[in-house]
Amino acid sequence: MGLQSDEKGDSYPLIEPRSHDMHGGATFAIIVTTLVAVSGSYVFGTAIGYSSPAQSGIMTDLALTVSEYSVFGSVLTIGAMIGAIVSGKLADYIGRRGTMGFAEIFCLSGWLFIAFSKVAWWLDMGRMLVGFGMGVISYVVPVFIAEITPKELRGAFTTVHQLMICFGISLTWLIGAFLNWRTLALIGAIPCLIQLLGLPFIPESPRWLAKNDRALDCEAALQRLRGNSKDISAEVLEIQEYTELLKQLPEASVLELFERQYTRSIIAGVGLMALQQFGGVNGIKFYVKSLFTTAGLSGNIGTISLAVIQILMTSVGVVLMDISGRRPLLMISAAGTSLGCLCVGLSFLFKDLQLWQSHSPLLAFVGVLTFEGSFSLGMGAIPWVIMSEIFPINVKGLAGSLVTLVSWVGSWIVSYSFNFLLNWSSAGIFFIFSTICGFTVLFVAKFVPETKGKTLEEIQAAMNPLSTKS
C-alpha cells in the first residue's frame, strides 16, 4: 500500500485494487448464509407490519384508546433504540453470528408475550422485547452480509436485507387481514426459530475473525464462502493488510467518532438514516390501514396494493443495485418519495377544502403507492448498505450503533407522533415529509459516495483518511 493525498491535502493509505479476480461468485455457501441472516430481517418486517392489521382487534379485545395503542405501536422503536446502542459493541465482542442469535431470543420472547397478553402492559413489554431484537438485527445483518460477499455482489446481497423486511411487512399485512392478532403474533415467532436453528451451520464473518487475530479461521471461513476451488490468497492478504493497519490505531471512543478522519463517513451515515426516517416511512407503514380509511379508501385494498408494490420495487432495487450504483438509485428514490408525499398532501388539502372530492381518494392512493414504491427502490435499503460499507472495522461497532440509534430515534418520533400529526393537519404533515424527501436528493448529491464495485477496504481507506502508513 502506498500513500495518497486527496484534494484537501489529507494523507491516507491507498488500498490498491487487485488487477486479477480475487472474488468468487454467488456460491451455495454465500446464498445459504445470506438466507439464514435475512431470516432476522423477516422478523424485522413482521414487527413493523404487525401494528396495522392488529390495531382493531387489539383495541377491541383489550379496550385500548388511540393514545394507548400509539404507545404500543411506538414502544417497538424504544426497544430498538436500546438494541441499537448495544448492537455494535455486541457484534464486536461476540461476533456477528452470536449477536444475531442473541437478538432472536429477545424477538421470540417478545412475540410470545404479545400472543398471550391479557393486559396492556404485557402487550407493551412484548413489543419492546421484539424492538430490542430488531435494533440489534438492523445493524448486524447488513454488516454481516457486506463482510461475507464479494464486491461485485455486495450491493445486491445486502439489499436482500431490505427485501426480506418488505416480505415480512407485506405478508403480515396480507395474512393479518384474515387472522386473529394472537395467531399473527405466533406466526411472527416462526422466523426467529428458523434463524436460531440455522446459525450454527453458517461461517462467521472473515473480517471479524481477522480483527480478532484468528487468521486461520478467517482463511477457512473465506474459503468456504468463496468455494474450495477458488484462490482467495489476494483477498485474504487485502483483509489482513488493512486490519493490521487499523490495529495500530487505538479503539475509538464515542467522541473520537467526530474527529476529522471520520467526518465524511459520519455525515453520510447519520444523515441518510435521519432523512430516511423523517421522510415519514414508519408513520405510513405502522398505520397504513387507518391512513387509507382517513383518505376515504378501503383499508384492505390499499394494504394489499401496498404490499405488492413494495415487494416488486424492492426486487427491482436488488437487481439494479450493482448495475446502476447506489447514488443514482438513491436520488431517483428520494425524488419519488417526495412526489408521493406531495400527492397525499394535496389529496388531504382538497378534501379539507371540499374540492375535487370524487378524485382526492384516488390521488391519496396513487401518492401512497408512489411513496412506497419509490422508497422500496432505494431509500429503504441503500442507507443500510452504505452504513455497512463506509466505516473501518476499528470504529464499525461504535459508528454502526450511532447510525442505527439515529434511525430508531427518528422512527420512534415519527411513529409516535404520526396519528396526532394526522389529526393536527393531514395535508400539512405530508407537505413536511415531501420537503424532507426533496432535500434528501440534494444531500445524496453532496455527501454520499458511490461505493459500487469497490472492496470494503478501498471504500474505507478513501472515506476515512488515516495518518498511519503501512
> Can you tell me the distance from the alpha carbon of 10 to that of 1, in angstroms, rounded to the nearest whole number?
16
For residues 190 and 48, which has the higher predicted lDDT (pLDDT)? 190
Q: Give residue 443's pLDDT.
A: 95
Residue 221 has pLDDT above 80, yes or no: yes
Residue 295 has pLDDT above 70, yes or no: no
- In the predicted model, what is the mean pLDDT of residues 20-31? 68
The 10s digit of each residue's pLDDT in 389-423 is 888 777 778 888 898 889 888 887 887 787 777 77
Q: What is the DSSP letter of 3?
A: E
In a domain, 16, yes or no: no
In a domain, 390, yes or no: yes
User: Are the C-beta atoms of 320 and 376 separated by less than 8 Å?
Assistant: no
In a domain, 418, yes or no: yes
> Can you tell me the distance from the alpha carbon of 225 to that of 114, in angstroms, rounded to the nearest whole number?
38
- In the predicted model, what is the mean pLDDT of residues 108-125? 92
The 10s digit of each residue's pLDDT in 231-269 is 888 888 888 887 777 666 666 666 677 777 788 888 999
Residue 267 belongs to domain spanning:
22-463
* Angle between helical axes of 233-247 and 456-463 (0-180°, round to 10): 30
Q: For the purposes of burial, counting CB atoms within 10 Å of the CB of 249, is it exposed (0-12), middle (13-18) or buried (19 or more)?
A: middle
Q: What is the DSSP letter of 270?
A: H
Q: Give residue 140's pLDDT.
A: 93
- In the predicted model, what is the mean pLDDT of residues 75-98? 90
Q: Give residue 294's pLDDT.
A: 59
- In the predicted model, what is the mean pLDDT of residues 47-75? 83
Residue 311 has pLDDT above 70, yes or no: yes
For residues 358 and 165, which has the higher predicted lDDT (pLDDT)? 165
For residues 407 and 305, which has the higher predicted lDDT (pLDDT)? 407
Q: Give residue 243's pLDDT.
A: 79
- In the predicted model, what is the mean pLDDT of residues 78-91? 90
User: Measured between alpha carbons, how far apart are the two ends of the chain, in Å?
Assistant: 7
- In the predicted model, what is the mean pLDDT of residues 152-177? 85
Q: Give residue 191's pLDDT.
A: 92
Q: Give residue 4's pLDDT.
A: 40
Q: Give residue 217's pLDDT.
A: 92
In a domain, 2, yes or no: no
Tell me what percent of the residues of the chain surpass a pLDDT of 90. 33
In a domain, 280, yes or no: yes
Residue 7 has pLDDT above 50, yes or no: no
- In the predicted model, what is the mean pLDDT of residues 362-375? 86
The band of 339, judged by pLDDT with boundaries at 50, 70 and 90, is very high
The 10s digit of each residue's pLDDT in 345-358 is 898 888 778 777 66
Q: What is the CATH number of the domain that holds 386?
A: 1.20.1250.20
In a domain, 26, yes or no: yes
- In the predicted model, what is the mean pLDDT of residues 68-75? 80
> Can you tell me the distance from the alpha carbon of 9 to that of 127, in angstroms, rounded to the nearest whole number?
50
- In the predicted model, what is the mean pLDDT of residues 46-75? 83
Q: What are the grid coordinates assigned to 181, written together? A: 392478532
Positive or negative CA dihedral for 223, 226, 228, 231? negative
pTM for this prediction: 0.78
Task: Supply the mean pLDDT for the chain.
Answer: 83
- In the predicted model, what is the mean pLDDT of residues 296-304? 66
Q: Give residue 133's pLDDT.
A: 94
In a domain, 11, yes or no: no
In a domain, 210, yes or no: yes
For residues 425 and 125, which has the higher predicted lDDT (pLDDT)? 125
Q: Give residue 252's pLDDT.
A: 64
Taking CA atoms, 44 is separated from 12, 266, 434, in Å, by 38, 24, 26
> Can you tell me the distance from the alpha carbon of 96 to that of 144, in angstroms, rounded to the nearest whole number?
6
Domain count, the chain: 1
**How does DSSP assign 4-66, residue by residue?**
EE-TTS-EEEE-PPPSS-----S-HHHHHHHHHHHHHHHHHHHHHHHHHHHHHHHHHHTT--H
- In the predicted model, what is the mean pLDDT of residues 431-458? 89
